[in-house]
Structure 1
Amino acid sequence: MNAIITATELASELAGPAAPLLLDVRYQLGGPPGRPAYEAGHLPGAVYVDLDRELAGPPGKNGRHPLPELAVFTAAMRAAGVTAARPVVVYDGGQGWAAARAWWLLRWAGHPDVRVLDGGLDAWQASGGAMSVDKVTPPEGDFTPEPGAMPLLTADDAAALARRGVLLDARAGERYRGETEPIDPVAGHIPGAVSAPTTENIAPGGTAFRPAAELAERFAALGVTPGTEVGVYCGSGVSAAQQVLALAVAGIPAALYVGSWSEWCADPSRPIATGPQPG
């Protein structure tokens, strides 16, 4: 199953007999909140999901966006109308980070059919897709998470994978190199990790992914060869989910280190590398 869907394909499915459930996961680090934007206009029938409250736990020693409590996530997905029998399509404002986090969590929790709208809201509107301001109250869902369907890394797992496989750092290059750190208290990267900013997964001048073949070439240049074990981290496990999604589009399975740099650097005993090289 493809992990993404185009705006044209989505419009066709929504007009068909088995329309997917739509989740709007608009989010911007540091605000403003996504709900006002959702209320001002969203895809018809879409339900808003709050990343900070429903797709992540409270920030702390496990990072800025740790896994949510399973009961919280279950309640949120059921309130949004999620069932195992109905396909789900998630979208955000265009970056793809928040939508990918929702995609990854649902897939990790065992949902069999979740896709991300490629290019997000921008692509939908550019294709002439309709918008709505109607309040959406979906029927209660019955989704029961069964965690473990997607690989998940701890801090120790990430360190070990950096030695035996390829650990990709999805943050901007200057954060990886330790030249600046606008969010977390320590700059640098996990020793052995390879710099792979998520911005390079996107086609120039747009919000949609590069073609699968181009993504495969990109990751091959970063050392991802057939049979290589791959992991991804970022600042707090959100943009890294977009990288896992890009890898999936390229046909490459990858594990996500959800705690990411915000968890790693919170422990002063963990080593930190700086500069352009993995070491």
Structure 2
Amino acid sequence: MGPLIDVPALNARLAAGQHTVLLDVRWVLGDPNGREQYLDGHLPGAVFVDLATELAAPADPSRGRHPLPSAADFQETARRWGISNGDTVVAYDNNGNMAAARLWWMLRNAGFREAYLLDGGLAAWRAAGLQEDTGPVEAAVGNVSFEVPFDGGGRMPPIDAAAAAGWPASGILLDARAGERYRGEFEPIDPRAGHIPGALSAPTTENVDGDGRFLPPDLLQSRFESLGISHDVPVAVYCGSGVTAAHEVAALEIAGFRAALYPGSFSEWSNNPELPVAAGGGPIGDAAARGGSVAL
């Protein structure tokens, strides 16, 4: 089974009493009100996940805005959400799974196999007219023990800046941010504008339809093949801080391709003045790589 579960399948699981850990990752860049929105309405039994504090270590210019937490910290947090060995976990948000995919990726990377994204997220649940609850949910502490130290390799291997720098020489490095950020026309948060030299623009928003559901596998396959991706070419993905890049990894998996993720992403890269930044429409037409910092 791939990364997704749809609303009818999840509703059937819940109606049949099949134990399912529901995790609500209500987070959007620049919006600090995720928990309040969760409290106003969420899937029955869903536990709130704070992306900034539970899916990331404190921001560090040398590691990016959302560094991966330690494996021990993540395991402790997952137990607090109520996850035990053998459970089925479904994560969702209200933004096309752009944030929830980070949790999916982290669980899968830690060796937890039964982790899924609710296709379409909260919007799809609401469109089906299904029940919501309000207020907080406190889960009974679980006993999950992850198989691998995901910060040191894992099942969904992360890469570092050195690997990202050399990746375009023998593979394809995808930039999952908006096209204007890739081209260096607009940079709202990181210290330099542009992209990692050699990377291809592949905005995450193009993985979903107007309702926030992932495109069908054949359309995603066509999309990525048009960028030169095949089973013979190594693929890696980055974004601003390693959050929406996980969504692209999920889309690639739906399309039948495996990809590595650069967790530090551009927030780490652009904070290192020794690393070059390119601007323009693509690797062939990049402006000269430039070092130093650019004021926002």
Provide the TM-score with structure 1 as the length reference.
0.97
2:268, 2:3 → 1: CA distance?
28
**8 Å CA contact retained: 1:244, 1:255:** yes
- The amino acid that maps onto 2:79 is R
SS in 1 for 2:139: coil
**8 Å CA contact retained: 2:197, 2:276:** yes
Cα deviation for residue 17 of structure 1 reads 4.0
- The amino acid that maps onto 1:247 is L
Cα deviation for residue 277 of structure 1 reads 1.5
**8 Å CA contact retained: 1:84, 1:112:** no
1:137, 1:206 → 2: CA distance?
30
The residue number in structure 2 matching 1:270 is 275
Alignment of 1:80-229 (within 5 A): 80-145=81-146, 146=148, 147=150, 148-203=154-209, 205-229=210-234
Question: What do the CA deviations read for 1:96-137 (whole angstroms, capped 9, x no partner)?
Answer: 111100000111111111000011100110011210115422
The residue number in structure 1 matching 2:59 is 59
Residue 254 (1) aligns with residue 259 (2): yes
Give the stretch that moved more between structures: 11-20 or 193-202: 11-20
- The amino acid that maps onto 1:50 is D
Question: What do the CA deviations read for 1:147-187 (whole angstroms, capped 9, x no partner)?
Answer: 21111110111122221111000001111111111110100
Aligned residues: 278
1:68, 1:140 → 2: CA distance?
19
Question: What do the CA deviations read for 1:60-85 (whole angstroms, capped 9, x no partner)?
Answer: 12000010132322221111001121
1:80, 1:5 → 2: CA distance?
20
Q: Closer, same or farther in 2 for the Cα pair 1:94/1:129, shift >3 Å?
A: farther
- The amino acid that maps onto 2:252 is L
1:68, 1:54 → 2: CA distance?
8
**Superposition RMSD in Å:** 1.1
**8 Å CA contact retained: 1:100, 1:241:** yes
* Unmatched segments (≥5 aa) in structure 1: none
Cα deviation for residue 94 of structure 1 reads 2.5
1:218, 1:160 → 2: CA distance?
24
1:37, 1:21 → 2: CA distance?
19
Identity of aligned residues (%): 51
* Unmatched segments (≥5 aa) in structure 2: 285-296
**8 Å CA contact retained: 1:151, 1:256:** yes
1:223, 1:162 → 2: CA distance?
12
2:142, 2:192 → 1: CA distance?
42
Cα deviation for residue 251 of structure 1 reads 1.3
Residue 3 (1) aligns with residue 8 (2): no
- The amino acid that maps onto 2:222 is E
The residue number in structure 2 matching 1:36 is 36
